[in-house]
Amino acid sequence: MLDIGWFSSGRDQAAIGLLKVVSDAIKSGSIQGKISFVFVTREKGEKPESDRFIDYAEKLGLEVMALSHRNFEPQLRKAGLEESIRLGSDSPILENWRKQYDDVVMAKLSHYKPDMIVLAGYMLIVSAEMCRKYNMINLHPALPGGPKGTWQEVIWQLMEQKAKKTGVMMHLITPELDAGPAITYCEYDIYDDHIKPLWRQWEIKSKALQEIQKNDGENEPLFNKIRRLGLKREFPLIVATLKSASLGEFSILNGEILSNGQKLVHGFDLTNEVERAISST
């Protein structure tokens, strides 16, 4: 039985949806495992969205632990964020804050021995120490080798590149952001006949990208369409990945993904399984 830890910031309805779909798959027997704990970066009373997430996890009978990242060493965090803005990258101060925060989190979780931890809407970068301690997997809205960054940054990059295809992948968390090896992925078309008119509208716009991002943002039609196509596939891919893990089809050892004792180089292509799941709903 796969022992799963669950990390989330509980910041929106999608966080509840992710937990629900995996919990339902466990109850149905599709995933042969259990969620042994849920860790949240917000505490009760901080935000209505995370309060709803915590309430939902508790209603499922799951043990929930929380540590507010905003209230943890706030002056050190503020100094780290400010210095990172000046440097244009993570500052040593912020990395120190991150290590201190994760040290406390790991102490809270010391009596658990999860086979893997799923980062599901977890909005913090984890420290190198935590990466080494746990097998942590994360969903990233791009194909292996594709754009890095937040899902918003990924979509803007796809649009700038005039990409014809993209995907969603589950990958191992490593100290280097979004650079861990792919475990599973699915691919889909973002330039088929239904989307081409939106691409044409996008291509004839004369405004600069930054202006479009500022004025239209996530409501830009092509951006919005690509996001919805990805969201449809995120839940099925997470379920399929955990199902595969629970069946022993892959394992994680010393930062590598193994299948049948061999290093898995490119990850499992689960496109067909994901598309079947979408068509059946």
CATH number, domain containing residue 11: 3.40.50.170
Q: Are 242 and 22 in contact (CB under 8 A)?
A: yes
pLDDT of residue 69: 95
Question: How do residues 49-93 score in pLDDT, each as one tens digit?
Answer: 999 999 999 999 999 999 999 999 999 999 999 998 998 888 899
Question: What predicted TM-score, i.e. pTM, was given to this entire model?
Answer: 0.88
Same domain, 222 and 269: yes
DSSP, collapsed to helix, strand or coil, labels residue 18 as helix
Question: In sequence order, what are the residues at sequence separation of 6 or more whose Cβ sits closer than 8 angstroms to the Cβ of residue 178?
Answer: 140, 148, 149, 171
Alpha helices in the chain, H assignment, sequence order: 13-28, 48-59, 74-87, 92-108, 128-133, 151-161, 196-204, 209-215, 221-246, 271-279
- Total domains in the chain come to 2
Nearest-5° angle of CA 178, CA 179, CA 180? 100
DSSP, collapsed to helix, strand or coil, labels residue 28 as helix
**Mean pLDDT in the chain?**
90
Same domain, 31 and 157: no
Using a pLDDT cut of 70, give the percent of the chain over it: 98
Same domain, 53 and 166: no
Same domain, 123 and 147: no
Higher per-residue pLDDT: 175 or 226:
226
Is residue 129 over pLDDT 80? yes
pLDDT of residue 206: 58
Distance of alpha carbon 231 from alpha carbon 64, whole angstroms: 26
Is residue 214 over pLDDT 80? no
Across 4-13, 53-62, 201-210, least confident range: 201-210
Mean pLDDT of 209-228: 82
Domain membership of residue 14 as a residue range = 1-134
Same domain, 172 and 227: yes
Q: Which of 81, 99, 134 is the last residue of a domain?
A: 134
Same domain, 129 and 149: no
> Parallel, antiparallel, or unpaired: how do β-strands 136-140 and 116-119 relate?
parallel
User: Confidence class of residue 109 from pLDDT cuts 50, 70 and 90?
Assistant: very high
Same domain, 149 and 111: no
Q: Are 230 and 140 in contact (CB under 8 A)?
A: no
Same domain, 124 and 206: no
Same domain, 229 and 117: no
> Parallel, antiparallel, or unpaired: how do β-strands 182-189 and 165-172 relate?
antiparallel
pLDDT of residue 207: 67
DSSP, collapsed to helix, strand or coil, labels residue 159 as helix
Q: Which of 134, 162, 197 is the last residue of a domain?
A: 134
Q: Are 273 and 239 in contact (CB under 8 A)?
A: no
Q: How many residues are there in the chain?
A: 281
Same domain, 55 and 84: yes
Same domain, 173 and 232: yes
Structure tokens at 119: 């980062």
Q: Are 144 and 171 in contact (CB under 8 A)?
A: yes
Q: Which of 134, 160, 190 is the last residue of a domain?
A: 134
Same domain, 124 and 196: no
Structure tokens at 272: 């067909």
Distance of alpha carbon 13 from alpha carbon 99, whole angstroms: 29
Is residue 99 over pLDDT 90? yes
